Amino acid sequence: MLDLLLRHGTVHDGLGGPSRTADVAIHEGRVAAIGTGLGPARRVLDVAGLVVAPGFVDPHSHSDTVPFLSEEQPFKLLQGVTTEIIGNCGFSCAPVHDDDSGFTPSVLADAAFPTMREYLDAAQQAGPTNNLAVLVGHNTLRLAAAGMTAEITAARLDRMCALAAEAFEAGAYGLSSGLEYVPGAYAGLDELTALALVAKRWELTYATHLRSESEGLAEALDEAITVATRAGVRLHVSHCKASGRAVHGASAMVLDRLSRARSAGLDVRADVYPYLAFGTGLVAVLPPSACEGGEEALLARLADPGTRAALRTLAESPGSGIGVGLWRELHPADVQILTHRDPRVAGRRLADLGGDPWEALCDLLAADPRAAGVFHTMHEHDLRAFLADPLVSIGSDGGPPVGPNHPRTFGTFPTFLGRYVREERAVPMEVAVRKVSSAAAGQFGLAGRGWLGPGAVADVCVFDPGTIGHDGTYERPDARPTGVVHVFLAGRQVVADGEPTGGRHGRVLRRGTP
């Protein structure tokens, strides 16, 4: 007898094929069959009128520390997400050593582990609410081997490669970089290629936050393609964007380069979130050289008027835009302060603070080097182009659901399916389901996940295509999404009739294990 039968649903296999009305049989944590007349089951759910899809896979998440929060966290399950790829943008919770100094995101500060194996064990013991698959971060490797120095010696690079190999042996699914952030911004092509070659030993994926997503976008994309081509690894371009007025319309260039690279033999894909603003630390607005040596060195530079002026000259310098920070792509009105030690400035725009915007930015960072912001820099035309392209999946870039936040944390997948699929018909449903499932799972080697068929892991999302959506805003991002009716993790129901059933039933996945 079957464990569960989902009856009369509109079934999407996640591979882009047409839907069909059918039953889905689940037994012992796997999909047993799809069709009709599948036999008796201990439990039957009538899901007529609802979409039955593979559990969604988020290829770009920052939920690394979520398992360690005191309460279970169903915020991704309520979006239909059953598996997240974490350790993105070059930052992971391991390997972190005691002498590290730098600009690791504060969200990771309380979950630092000397080895990837220790992190994976601890996260599993703490209890993830959904499944997590981990990348090892280039920034984290560099901090462990070289701290915040820009120079990388042969011995330090060897150490980075050894640490990466340890992480892959422990079960990490690939390597990530965040080349707009320090110390990753100090890396050259040879360093990145050397690490990607380590990932090649296990046929893993290189995921990159490009060195520039604005005026240096073309050169940065070419760099990523060169690294992956030289190493022979899969390439995943994180959170596609054309950021800043100077490059609005550049989506056509990005998608053409991705398509040509794939035609040339590179296994390359990308992801995007359905929003026109990104979020990151305010320190990323400065040239990377401002941060060399660590936080104390940064504060000393910001305290010196002459150095501030020199940094401004560098930040405003024309050219490729690579290596000068985000300043050139921003207008002061674009910068919405998200977190700061001074609660009076949180939520305000840089343009509202008065005086010279550069000086205001430097004052903000001098008072709180860990301050973060939301940056409204993208154009709807580019977003729609990225969302529709077959090489681009949907990723949230969201972090833990605590403190001031971005709506992408709580509503990426319902927003995509509600606004861009149902309301605007920018993407057909069968293509949309592939974008939130197999397109991401396959790129990271998640065997048995991201598709519906006999033998697949029974991670399943059942949603109402007529009501799925999210009303969150930048002022109130944590509105609860609508339309996700049932969610299952390996056959266990974790959302029932739109409500979490409770518990921590996810797994920390390890490469090479089911």
Judge if 269 and 407 occupy the same domain.
Answer: yes
Q: Which of 188, 164, 158, 189 is nearest to 176 (CA)?
A: 164
Beta-sheet strands, E only, within 388-500? 392-394, 460-463, 484-489, 492-496, 499-500
Tokens of residue 379, six digits? 């154009």
Looking at the structure, do residues 266 and 408 belong to the same domain, yes or no? yes
The domain of 386 spans 56-280+378-444
Same domain, 303 and 352: yes
On whether both 274 and 399 belong to a single domain, the answer is yes
Q: Are residues 385 and 351 in the same domain?
A: no
| Whether residue 416 sits in one domain with residue 307 | no
467 within domain boundaries: no
pLDDT at 200: 98
**SS3 (DSSP) at 149:** coil
Render 51-68 in DSSP notation, one character per residue: EEEEPEEESS---TTGGG
Spatial neighbors of 363 by CB under 8 A, at least 6 apart, are none
Residue 25 to residue 130: CA distance in whole angstroms:
22
The total number of structural domains in the chain stands at: 3
CA–centroid distance for 461 within its chain: 20
pLDDT of residue 98: 65
> Digits of tens for pLDDT over the chain (514 positions)?
999 999 999 999 999 999 999 999 999 999 999 999 999 999 999 999 999 999 999 999 999 999 999 999 999 999 999 999 999 999 999 999 865 556 777 667 678 999 999 999 999 999 999 999 999 999 999 999 999 999 999 999 999 999 999 999 999 999 999 999 999 999 999 999 999 999 999 999 999 999 999 999 999 999 999 999 999 999 999 999 999 999 999 999 999 999 999 999 999 999 999 999 999 999 999 999 999 999 999 999 999 999 999 999 999 987 655 667 899 999 999 999 999 999 999 899 999 999 999 999 999 999 999 999 999 999 999 999 999 999 999 999 999 999 899 999 999 999 999 999 999 999 999 999 999 999 999 999 999 999 999 999 999 999 999 999 999 999 999 999 999 999 999 999 999 999 999 999 999 999 987 7
311 shares a domain with 185: no
Give yes or no: residues 186 and 206 share one domain. Answer: yes
Task: Among 428, 444, 460, identify where a domain stops.
Answer: 444
User: Is residue 364 a part of any domain in this protein?
Assistant: yes
56-58, strands of its sheet edge to edge: 56-58, 81-86, 131-137, 174-178, 205-209, 234-237, 268-272, 392-394
Identify whether residues 236 and 163 lie together within a single domain. yes
- Looking at residue 97, its pLDDT comes to 84
Residue 308 to residue 299: CA distance in whole angstroms? 11
DSSP 481: P
Residues 209 and 308 in one domain: no
Q: For strand 372-376 and strand 277-281, is the pairing parallel, antiparallel, or unpaired?
A: antiparallel
DSSP 418: I
d(CA 148, CA 246): 31
Do both 392 and 356 map to the same domain? no
CATH number of the domain enclosing 48: 2.30.40.10
pTM: 0.96
Are the C-beta atoms of residues 361 and 411 closer than 8 Å to each other?
no
C-alpha 202/C-alpha 199 separation (Å) is: 6
- The pLDDT assigned to 321 comes to 58
Q: Would residue 129 count as lying in a domain?
A: yes
Within-domain flag for 335 = yes
Answer whether residue 154 is part of any domain: yes
3-state helix, strand, coil in the chain (%, to 5): 35, 20, 45
Among 489, 488, 470, smallest CA distance to 480 is for 470
CA-nearest of 271, 323, 322, 280 to 85 is: 271
CATH (domain of 242):
3.20.20.140
CA distances from 202 to 225, 234, 251, 436, 439 (A): 19, 11, 32, 25, 20
Write out the E strands in 166-316. 174-178, 205-209, 234-237, 268-272, 277-281
441 membership: H or E segment, kind and range? helix 438-443
Is 483 among the domain residues? no
**AA letter at 342:** D
State how far the alpha carbon of 123 is from the alpha carbons of 129, 203, 204, in Å: 11, 25, 22
β 41-46/2-11 pair status: parallel
Give me the pLDDT at residue 391, please. Answer: 98
The per-residue pLDDT for 100 is 52
Same-domain pairing of 42 and 132: no
Integer angstrom CA distances of residue 263 from 115, 314, 507: 38, 38, 36
